[in-house]
Amino acid sequence: MNARDTVLSRIRRATADLSGTRTTVPRSYLRHAPTVAPGDREGAVALLVERLEEYGAEVRRTDAPGLPAAVTRALEAARSAVVPDGLPEHWTAGWDGELHRDQPPLTHHQLAAVDAVVTTCAVAVAESGTLVLDGGPGQGRRAPTLLPDLHVCVVREDQVVSALPEAMPRLDPRRPLTWISGPSATADIEMIRVRGVHGPRRLAVLIAP
Amino acid sequence: MRTTALFVTCINDALHPGTGKAAVTLLRRLGVEVDFPDGQSCCGQMHYNTGYRRETARLARHFVDVFGEYDEIVVPSASCGGLPSEAYEIAAEAAGDAGLLRDVRELAPKVHELTSYITDVLGREDVDAYFPHRVTYHPTCHSLRATPLGERPYRLLRAVKGIDVVELPARDECCGFGGTFSVKNGAVSGAMNGDKARHVLETGASVLAAVDNSCLMNIGGRLAKDGHAVRTLHLVEILARTEADGPLAGIPVARSGGVLR
Amino acid sequence: MSKTFMGWPAFPRAAETAVADEQLRTNVRRATHTIRGKRAALVEERPDWQDLRDAAAALKDDVLAHLDTYLEQVEERVTAAGGTVHWAVDADEANRIVTRLVRDTGETEIVKVKSMLTEEIGLDNALEAAGISARETDLAATIVQLGDDLPSHVVVPALHRNRSEIRDIFVREMGRHGRPAPEGLTDDPGELAEAARLHMREKFLKAKVAVSGANFVVAETGTLCVVESEGNGRMCLTLADTLISVVGIEKVVPTWRDLEVYLQMLARSATGERMAPYTSTWTGTTDGDGPGTFHLVLVDNGRTRALADPVGRQALRCIRCGACMNICPVYERTGGQAYGSVYPGPIGAILNPLLKGPDDPQTASLPYASSLCGACNEVCPVRIRFTDVLLKLRSDVAEGDAKVKHRAEKAALKAVGAVMDHGPLWNAAVRAAGTVGAAVPKGMKLPGPLHGWTDSRALPDIPKESFRAWWKRTEGGAK
């Protein structure tokens, strides 16, 4: 018998006493953040800001016309940046640093030499301060959001949900997803939180209507 | 007429007879006459917790034979009082004894830990007790998690006249007794117990109370070995005392003590 | 070859050594109390925590009851999405598969994301024997690997080390395995993390093959999920050409939506965060993004043994958050290595005997490495009833099929039992105790295994008159 058949037949023997059992899964947990009423978008956005700031992310709310200036400001300390396909060009038009398009794809070494990356996201979850990237337009493949030291992420207010259960139906699991809750961190040394190990050490989030 | 039996437990019988006497005194004061069937021995806790389920079944059978006829069985110990409902069915199944299984299912709901018997069955919190001393209380793991007594012991203690109840730091942490654990893993058990004893001393209490004498024997053994004068007393020994008894000899009277609140 | 737990002493002896190590106890105490506090605060802010626990436990029970069907579903979906699925009955087979897959790429240095399963099966040593160097990339796992040490916690494997010990390891070892530690490195945690960043960065950029585990595998979609903090996971999962994920068969969850339960609980329970900084999910391969080749190795290695135990199978719900060890008063005093396994603490005390069978003295000692206080039952996000399983495993050792037997103990307890269920004998025994008691000095040391009691405690006074003697003499206090 091959390993597959061995494992499956062992499982069937081990669970013989459970055959025919149907487990009902109670789903009485909240579908929204405990402190935000369902449908309260402004409450969700405010909570997202609060949580991101707790993580040490730099957060700025802006109106649509102010977005390019906000991007420029977020990139202030960077000399070079990479942008994925589908990111509106006028967002970075006012910035005078060295701008790379990830088309054709940059090598890992090239990406590691770039200071910053600017993307959009697919969904933002307020309660946990999480940005989810799904590789869609303006987000690109995963490597460019990983190797540069500064990640500037633009979030549209209508992308903000209050809690994880509201986010799941908006996401397509067939795409590679990256869920980012604050900058890279570790507490492996004496449980002291240190920001920035391998991923981007700075996360700037711009929230626009 | 309901019949009530006292299951004193083997440890109390041999090592802490004062707890049994206090239980009799207190229950009598609250209008309950208990019987002490003298065929009683041990609930089988040590056997069960060490893995000997068939031996436990043997003691469960004995327990049923001794107590089966009573309407209620009162036990001055959370761990021994909890055992019939936690372990006897499992032990009967392990022994493959269907008759025992039936009997212990009938018996288990009639077995009451003393504290909850007073608060829930008799509906009393103020039992007219008097104890003018500084007391701290250790919630034993069994009374905290297995058969949770919650705030009941604290409510009973706070209703005692003259008493000064002080909170025990890190009260929810195990004292390290754990039955045969204290022998099989003496080093870890000793380290846990050392921390518990230190917290008891931090309260400045003269008396450490609990609802399990086994845990008190553990902590008290450490305190005694280190030369500290803190007394250990089962909760019922505090509740049984009245103003007629006066303060307990040999321990300081609390500053607020003696003044009736 | 790096160190392993082979030949480790049974828990009581290993624990005795650990308890005597003041530095270790200080480090472990500081770490466990810190996480405990953070976890408690974040659980407190979820009014539906108990509801989440109910869902998390029920979902896993459903998976375990129909594990064969779910695994077939995983295989089908992963294959359809461009991955290749392999099955391994035990550690040796899993190691052989991974070794062959790496060899096929021609690479001799690979990177790894911390995974409990690959530590359980000893993958690093198996690869090393085949001439392949597997470098850990998680900071704590790196500290353990560089220090030729053993892990002591499932989430924070180097929790037993303090900053100055970590600095010394970095200064001594980094240069032997790549970029050396920066000149003048201090023990500041920020500087130590920066040293790890620099040391690892060149490895990430070079690596063609990565090995990971997975926190969850979604049956419905064939999606794998890895939760981490530092970004080393993302590096491995994204930058390598070939990704090999080695996953225990119990890691399955039924549907995509079910992740909403676990992702809300895992970081809260594990590190006291609402979510860990990075969660990655992927399904097979994606053109132009990440590894072009993906292998999933599904590993049994004793899990079906555990599954066959009706009481013990709940241990397979475990999501490796470590909350049970952080709350455990025994773990707090011994640290993790005393358990002689990569799974320490309460989960280790039940999982090791369930996976391996309590047939050797070390494994058989684990179900007894607990005072049964039950604190772990309360914090477990998937509602494992640790004390129920511990008691069941103790009965396996005492009366069941386990090869290890405690003959003297059994004989003693049986003898006591025989007296206890015999009324007149017991009566006589209790009465006699008072007489004997007068002759036992309080400071006496008990002989044999009982010395564990008297090492740190005085013996209780044995009263002259037992309760039953008093009852008889006074007719129940009436006289």
Which of C260, C285, C287 is the best residue to mutate to test the A interface, defined by the most A CB atoms within 10 Å of its own CB? Answer: C260
| pLDDT 10s digits, C258-307 | 999 999 999 999 999 999 999 999 999 999 999 999 999 999 999 999 99
Q: Which residues of B touch C459 (CB under 8 A)?
A: 221
Contact C273, C42 (CB under 8 A): yes
Shortest alpha-carbon distance between residue C301 and chain A (Å): 10
Q: What is the mean pLDDT of residues C173-192?
A: 95
Work out the burial of residue A65: count CB atoms within 10 Å of its CB; fewer than 13 is exposed, 13-18 middle, 19 or more buried: exposed
Residue C452 has pLDDT above 80, yes or no: no
Shortest alpha-carbon distance between residue A159 and chain C (Å): 17
Q: Which residues of A touch C36 (CB under 8 A)?
A: none
Q: Hey, is B184 helix, strand or coil? A: helix
CA pair distance C279, C269, nearest whole angstrom: 15
User: Of C238, C194, C179, which Cα lies nearest the Cα of C212?
Assistant: C238
Region of residue C346 (phi > 0: left; psi between -120 and 50: alpha; otherwise: beta): alpha
CB within 8 A of B151, min separation 6: which ones?
A: none
CB within 8 A of B28, min separation 6: which ones?
A: B34, C477
Residue B113 has pLDDT above 50, yes or no: yes
CA pair distance C135, C3, nearest whole angstrom: 15
pLDDT for B258 equals: 43
First to last CA, chain C: 77
The reply to whether residue B189 touches residue C371, judged by beta carbons under 8 angstroms, is: yes
Q: Which two tokens stand for residue C272?
A: 């006291």
Contact A107, A73 (CB under 8 A): no
| pLDDT 10s digits, C326-342 | 999 999 999 999 999 99
CA pair distance B123, B61, nearest whole angstrom: 31
The reply to whether residue B59 touches residue C417, judged by beta carbons under 8 angstroms, is: yes
The radius of gyration of chain C from alpha carbons, rounded to an integer in Å, stands at 26
- Cα distances from B203 to residues A53, B24, B137, B140, C462, in angstroms, run 41, 30, 10, 17, 28
Please state whether beta strands B231-234 and C109-112 pair in parallel, antiparallel, or not at all (unpaired).
unpaired
- pLDDT band of B70, cuts 50, 70, 90: very high
Q: Which residues of B touch C412 (CB under 8 A)?
A: none
What residue type is C454 in one-letter code? T
Of B16, B24, B222, the CB nearest to C457: B222
CA pair distance B156, C200, nearest whole angstrom: 61
pLDDT for C413 equals: 77
Closest-CA residue in chain B for C365? B184
CA pair distance B45, C479, nearest whole angstrom: 33
Please state whether beta strands B231-234 and A177-180 pair in parallel, antiparallel, or not at all (unpaired).
unpaired
- Cα distances from C129 to residues A118, C6, C116, C133, in angstroms, run 44, 17, 20, 9
Element (H, E) at B34: strand B34-35
- How far from chain centre, in Å, is Cα C14? 17
B25 touches chain C (CB under 8 A): yes
Q: Which residues of A touch C265 (CB under 8 A)?
A: none
CA pair distance C98, C78, nearest whole angstrom: 18
User: Of C142, C155, C98, which Cα lies nearest the Cα of C123?
Assistant: C98
Shortest alpha-carbon distance between residue A125 and chain C (Å): 10
Of C391, C455, C462, the CB nearest to B15: C462
Peptide bond into C277 cis (omega under 30): no
Shortest alpha-carbon distance between residue B179 and chain C (Å): 8
- pLDDT band of C438, cuts 50, 70, 90: low
Whether the ipTM is more than 0.90: the answer is: yes
Of B58, B145, B180, the CB nearest to C378: B145
Q: Is the dihedral of CA B167, B170, B174, B177 positive or negative?
A: negative
Q: What angle do CA B152, B158, B164 make, to 5 degrees?
A: 135
The reply to whether residue B14 touches residue C466, judged by beta carbons under 8 angstroms, is: yes
Residue written as tokens 């990440």?
C290
Contact C117, A34 (CB under 8 A): no
Contact C30, A190 (CB under 8 A): yes
Residue C383 has pLDDT above 80, yes or no: yes
Neighbouring subunits of C (3+ Cβ pairs under 8 A): A, B
CA pair distance C55, C381, nearest whole angstrom: 10
Q: How many CB pairs under 8 A join A and C?
A: 247
Range scoring the smallest mean pLDDT among B227-236, C360-369, C412-421 = C412-421
CA pair distance A96, C424, nearest whole angstrom: 98
Bridge-partner residues for C296, per DSSP? C85, C245
Mean model confidence pLDDT for chain C: 93
Element (H, E) at C61: helix C49-65
The reply to whether residue B185 touches residue C452, judged by beta carbons under 8 angstroms, is: yes
Of C374, C420, C470, the CB nearest to B41: C420
pLDDT for B260 equals: 40
Q: What is the mean pLDDT of residues B27-56?
A: 95
Q: Which residues of C touch A135 (CB under 8 A)?
A: 286, 289
- How far from chain centre, in Å, is Cα C290? 31
Please state whether beta strands C223-228 and C216-218 pair in parallel, antiparallel, or not at all (unpaired).
antiparallel
Q: Which residues of C touch A170 (CB under 8 A)?
A: none
- DSSP 8-state symbol, A106: P
Q: What is the mean pLDDT of residues C186-212?
A: 95
Q: What is the mean pLDDT of residues C79-93?
A: 98
Query: What's the maximum distance between 2 C-alpha atoms anywhere in chain B?
Result: 59
Please state whether beta strands A177-180 and A202-208 pair in parallel, antiparallel, or not at all (unpaired).
unpaired
Q: What angle do CA C206, C210, C215 make, to 5 degrees?
A: 140
The reply to whether residue C430 touches residue B14, judged by beta carbons under 8 angstroms, is: yes
The reply to whether residue C409 touches residue B50, judged by beta carbons under 8 angstroms, is: yes
B48 touches chain C (CB under 8 A): yes
Closest-CA residue in chain B for C366? B185
Q: What is the mean pLDDT of residues B223-233?
A: 96
Contact C109, C206 (CB under 8 A): yes
Of A2, A15, A197, the CB nearest to C196: A197
Strand order in the sheet with C223-228: A160-161, A123-125, A130-133, A177-180, C278-283, C223-228, C216-218, C252-253
| pLDDT 10s digits, B124-143 | 999 999 999 999 999 999 99
CA pair distance A122, B132, nearest whole angstrom: 67
CA pair distance C372, C394, nearest whole angstrom: 12
- pLDDT band of C24, cuts 50, 70, 90: very high
Of B38, B94, B187, the CB nearest to C468: B38
Contact B235, B136 (CB under 8 A): no
pTM: predicted TM-score of the whole model, two decimal places? 0.95
Q: Which residues of C touch A13 (CB under 8 A)?
A: 304, 308
Q: Which residues of C touch B176 (CB under 8 A)?
A: 329, 371
What residue type is B8 in one-letter code? V
Higher pLDDT, A17 or A183: A17
